[in-house]
Amino acid sequence: MPPWRLIKSKPSDAFTNMAVDEAILRTVSAGKSPPTLRFYSWAPPAVSVGYFQNSCTDVDVEACRKLGIDVVRRLTGGRAVLHDKELTYSVICPENDPHFPDSILGTYKIISNCLIRGLSFLGLDASLTPFVKKEGKNAPSACFSSPSYYEITVAGNKLVGSAQRRGEGVFLQHGSILMEFDSERLTTVLPGLVRLDRVTSISDYLSVDMTTLISSLVKGFEEGLGISLSDGFLSDEEVALSEKYREEKYSQREWNLNR
């Protein structure tokens, strides 16, 4: 069983963050990199839209431009997310890894339990939501407008939103852990949201810095999966791939808006 790699990335723009996730996905799929847990944040803030989402109708692109907020399309599905004062995690792993079942929801559940275990070390009482599937024209366009799948809530309010992609023998799951929540900014860039009273953030319950939060979550994954995480870095191939994907894909209007 290959060892797991831990990467703590410096804050980066949206196009770099998504390019790095895809670069790791490709090298893990090719058997060139080990299973990887990565933590990162966003500078400047950004809206990421789901792979199949219509960014021009679900996102106020002009408001994003005025506020200096990037817009980027993810490889994963789901609804739009405003990435501002948050910590983002990504797990990239072969689909046949024995720690995970061969299903989206089963993998969600295991990763959520690792996150919940990590949050518990900070004294935060988080739990899994039941599976909720909302479809049709009345479905909200933003990820944090309602809980779904095995995502994480505190006192019934959503704290973590996640999305997953599977294929080519590998899965990528990444998700947002809200450190603070600005409802006014969220509704400005993502109009038509519902039930924002059901969103919460870590700052509503405790004061914690990013370093402490990451350390607690790392412990949660190690204990939850029975693994040891070793600090690592991107390989030369991953650096080259991420630069290529950023330049040719994630920074391009055609990918982000014209789909």
Q: What is the pLDDT, as a whole number, of residue 55?
A: 81
Could you tell me if residue 42 is inside a domain?
yes
Q: State pLDDT tens for residues 105-157.
A: 899 999 999 999 999 999 999 999 765 555 544 444 444 433 345 679 999 89
CATH number for position 38: 3.30.930.10
Q: State pLDDT tens for residues 32-69.
A: 999 999 999 999 999 999 999 888 788 999 999 999 99
Could you tell me if residue 10 is inside a domain?
yes
Res. 198 pLDDT band, cuts 50 70 90: confident
Could you tell me if residue 259 is inside a domain?
no
* Distance of alpha carbon 212 from alpha carbon 215, whole angstroms: 5
**Sequence-ordered list of residues with C-beta below 8 angstroms from that of 38, at least 6 positions apart, any chain:** 6, 7, 8, 9, 20, 21, 24, 89, 90, 92
Q: Taking the complete model, does pTM exceed 0.95, yes or no?
A: no
- Residues spanned by the domain of 125: 4-254
Could you tell me if residue 24 is inside a domain?
yes
Active site residues: 143
Q: What is the pLDDT, as a whole number, of residue 129?
A: 78
Question: Into how many domains does the chain fold?
Answer: 1
Could you tell me if residue 115 is inside a domain?
yes
pLDDT for residue 159 is more than 50 = yes
Could you tell me if residue 16 is inside a domain?
yes
Asked whether the beta carbons of 134 and 146 are under 8 A apart, the reply is yes
* Distance of alpha carbon 48 from alpha carbon 59, whole angstroms: 10
